[in-house]
Structure 1
Amino acid sequence: MDAMRLIGATRHALAQAGSVQDVVAEAWQVHALAEAIGGHLAVNGPAAARAEARGLCEAGCRARGALHHPALHHPAVRNGGMRAVQLTEVRDVRRVLLALGELLGDAGIALVGIASNTEEEALYWQCVESIDAADESRDRVHGILRHLERPLEVWEHGGAA
């Protein structure tokens, strides 16, 4: 499945998440998608952006690892599995990265809401770690975008770097 469709499905599911368990499960899905897109670009993306793409993959993996909550036994994860495993292509890399950056921001905001309102200390710290990893993922997304824009800049300036 194309990355934009997966991002759209995940954005919709995150927006519809009504409970703490739903939000945590969907944040986990967002991080899994960042990991999958990073992995895809590390193998298939432009050579100049592959290191940043590997970093995105690693940050997504760390973020998923930070969320050890009963929500991960949620039916959306158990029955539907990881949406990210359905990733087969990234047609428009720039568009996908921009959408992924927004989705990571949305997940971070949702987790801030949970962390701010929970009395469960373990959940609070898991959310904080996941928010940090989402921020790192967004930084990696921006790094990949910078690498993608470099050839355009060189071309626009008549070859001067």
Structure 2
Amino acid sequence: MDAVRLIVTSRHALAASGGAPQTLTEVWQAQALAQAIGSRLAVSGPPELRGEALGLTELAGRGCGVLDTPALDPGALRAAQLTDLVDAHETLLSLGGLLGEVGMALVGIASAADDEATYWQCMEAIDAADESRDRVREMLRKLAAREEALPEKEAGQGRWGPTLR
């Protein structure tokens, strides 16, 4: 499944989650998806993104690692459903939005936490999501710089295909 579709599915699931356990499961799913996207970009993405993508993979993995691993059916792991990453720019824009929502959801859980362990778990996951989002922003910046550097011979080609004149 395409990365953007999986991100949209994750955003909807996070928004619809009720209660801390379900929300933490969706946060874990989002971090696992970010890890898979980072891995895909590190291996086969634009060369300018590979270092940042590797960093995203590590940070998102840390985000998963600080949370309790949810008991999911094998087919329910969204990251395992990633088969396509058609548009790196669109994927990164969507992923940045998802990671922002993850941070907000974690703030809500942390502020309502009854125990110190959950609070600190959320704080570490917020930090990982925030740093992951910073990597996504840097990759978007690098994509924009790459686009600006396109040779003049491609001036008739816009980002979305041939320019109509």
Structures share fold, TM-score greater than 0.5 = yes
Give the whole-Å Cα distance in 1 for the aligned partners of 2:147 and 2:6.
28
Give the counterpart letter for 1:43 in structure 2: V
- What SS does the aligned partner of 1:18 have? coil
1:43-82 alignment runs, 5 A limit? 43-68=43-68, 72-73=70-71, 77-78=72-73, 80-82=75-77
Residue 154, structure 1, aligned to residue 149, structure 2: yes
Question: Which protein is bigger by CA-based radius of gyration?
Answer: 2
Under a length normalisation based on structure 2, what TM-score does the superposition of the two structures give? 0.87
Which residue does the alignment assign to 1:17?
17
What is the DSSP-based 3-state SS (H/G/I as helix, E as strand, rest coil) of the residue aligned with 1:89?
Answer: coil
Does 1:28 pair with 2:23?
A: no
Q: Shift of the alpha carbon at 1:153?
A: 2.0
**TM-score, with normalisation over the residues of structure 1?**
0.89
Distance (whole Å) between structure 2 residues aligned to residue 66 and residue 28 of structure 1: 9
CA RMSD of the aligned region, Å? Answer: 1.7
Structure number with the higher helix fraction is: 1
Secondary structure at 1:95's aligned position in 2? helix
Secondary structure of 1:9's match? Answer: helix
Report runs of 4+ in structure 1 exceeding 6 Å deviation: none
Give the share of equivalent positions with the same residue, in percent. Answer: 52
CA positional deviation for 1:147: 1.4
Alignment size in residue pairs: 153
SS at match of 2:68: coil
